[in-house]
Amino acid sequence: MLTLLEDKIATPLGPLWVLCDETFHLRAVEWEEHSDRMEALLNIHYRLQGYRRISATNPGGLSHKLTDYFSGDLAIIDALPTATAGTPFQREVWAMLRSIPCGQVMHYGEMAEKLGRAGAARAVGAANGANPVSIVVPCHRVIGRNGTLTGYAGGVTRKEWLLRHEGYLLL
């Protein structure tokens, strides 16, 4: 059975759940108001092996590191360890998300092309939407081909804030 250590932190965008395993690899990062989505993803990925959630304060220092990100230490998320389930294609997309530098964006079609799957922009979008570790696996850095801020499970307002915070969008 997988043990998930969970904490909730205050951010400028609202309360954020931080869940990691006992080796302090992030398994989920989700906005409190989207707890149902997080629960659904946890069940999809871990229900068969079984899991339990245990309250913890700053497990592995992860909560403080995410707080530091919101305080302006943008590079800190690059080093945070993750351990995601998902299909091989999803994990491929999520790995590519982590390669998008802070302050830059990519569009879904561009990601599909770089993955050798030109024309699979919708599949990339679906994998992006199933990302269980938001912010650290920066799905907010993916935008529509025409520059629109679409497809962020946390809401477009949060996506816009995160992109401004990272310097992509100017005030």
Q: What is the pLDDT of residues 56-90, one digit of tens each?
A: 999 999 999 999 999 999 999 999 999 999 999 99
pLDDT, tens only, 85-130: 999 999 999 999 999 999 999 999 999 999 999 989 999 999 999 9
- Is residue 8 classed as helix, strand or coil in its secondary structure? strand
Q: Which of 52, 79, 106 is the last residue of a domain?
A: 79
Confidence (pLDDT) at 13: 97
Instruction: For residue 50, give its domain range.
Output: 2-79
The reply to whether 171 falls in a domain is no
> From CA 146, how far away is CA 46, in angstroms rounded?
37
- Please provide the average confidence, as pLDDT, over all residues in the chain: 94
Using alpha carbons, select from 126, 109, 127 the residue that is nearest to residue 118. 109
102 carries an active-site annotation: no
Q: Which of 139, 142, 143, 149 is catalytic?
A: 139
Is residue 115 located within the same domain as residue 75? no
pTM: 0.92
Domain total in the chain: 2
Does the structure show a pLDDT above 60 at 171? no
